[in-house]
Amino acid sequence: MPKPSSQPFCASSIIGTGSYMPEKVMTNDDLSKFVDTSDEWITTRTGIKARRIAAENQATSDLASEAARRAMEAAGITAEDINLIVVATVTPDMFFPSTACIVQKKIGAANAVCFDISAACSGFLYALQVARHFINTGNRTTALVIGAEKLSSLINWQDRNTCVLFGDGAGAVVIRRAEESEDAPGRVLSTVMGSDGNLTDLLKVPGGASACPITPENVLSRPNTIHMEGRETFKHAVTRMCQAAEQALEIAGLTKEDISMVIPHQANARIITAIADRLGLPPEKTFMNLDQYGNTSAATIPVALDEAHRQGKIKKGDIVLLVAFGGGFTWASSV
């Protein structure tokens, strides 16, 4: 991987976090009633015990809007203060308009510029970096960055290799321009992003868009559901996430010893353990909640960040490392 170029200092801080998880809980035992699997099989291979499933009448924008409201409440701002909304998702309400525009309507953020980002599980960190650039150029002062997914809408419930992994949920942060001299908590110090389009076939939803529209002839093969080569995805995820984490620390002028907490993408407990081992971090410095929620793609990091904050596991002055990997392949990290 080429060494990233140096980045200008971006004076932007996370001033509020929020998350929303649907009420319905689907446990591994629930899954075993209609899929050839078991709690032991799922837990030993993934670390997942349960996941949340959105109601039929809940769209991704509904999850995102509730997470946004909670983040705004935590930040002490109103919808009128928001002048940028970026939603990271691979499960938008519809192809267009963007889910961000639908969120704008639902929360009443009339002053915001709105658009979506599609980078799969890395989407939230991509969106965070895009929002930082808007703030850094002076075009926007207060941004709402959301990762939200209704992955249950893309799941083939007969494929036990994928249906056990995913769930629904949303997380959000409010970021605001901070003066360089301010002692602002939550300051974003660095962000690294990368992609490798040569590996697009390893993790994808092949059907439902322009390359493969759903037709009467192909509908029974379920091309509009998640397809994944698990072993290859695992290998690349660990390698790229570790590289991205080390690069983000280097750009921020920090070392592994400075890390107070790493919040990784919640895809698989084995991946998280492998990353912690390679970075030399003890278990207590690695946040994990995938046992409760499974993989919620772009929502995993903002949900975990919000929970770590509200549970008191991170506090002012701590160095927090965020790192993700997703289909594309894409990867990203932020300190």
Catalytic residues: 121, 265, 295
CA distance 245 to 329: 16
Strand spans (E) along the chain: 12-20, 24-27, 50-53, 84-88, 113-117, 142-150, 168-177, 191-195, 203-204, 227-228, 261-264, 320-326, 330-334
Phi, psi of 322 (to 5 degrees): -110, 135
**Residues 224 and 218 sit within 8 Å (Cβ to Cβ):** no
Which is it for the CA torsion 301, 302, 306, 312, positive or negative? positive
Burial of residue 138 (number of CB atoms within 10 Å: 0-12, 13-18, 19+): exposed
And the tokens for 115? 């658009």
Burial call 233-250: b when 16+ CB within 10 Å, e when fewer: bbebbbbbbbbbbbbbbe
Phi, psi of 298 (to 5 degrees): -65, -15
3-state secondary structure (DSSP) of residue 214: coil
Question: By C-alpha distance, which of 250, 329, 253 is closest to 3?
Answer: 250
Q: In Å, what is the CA distance from 311 to each residue of 73, 245, 314, 315?
A: 17, 24, 8, 10
**Residues 134 and 83 sit within 8 Å (Cβ to Cβ):** no
Distance of CA 40 to the CA centre of its chain: 27
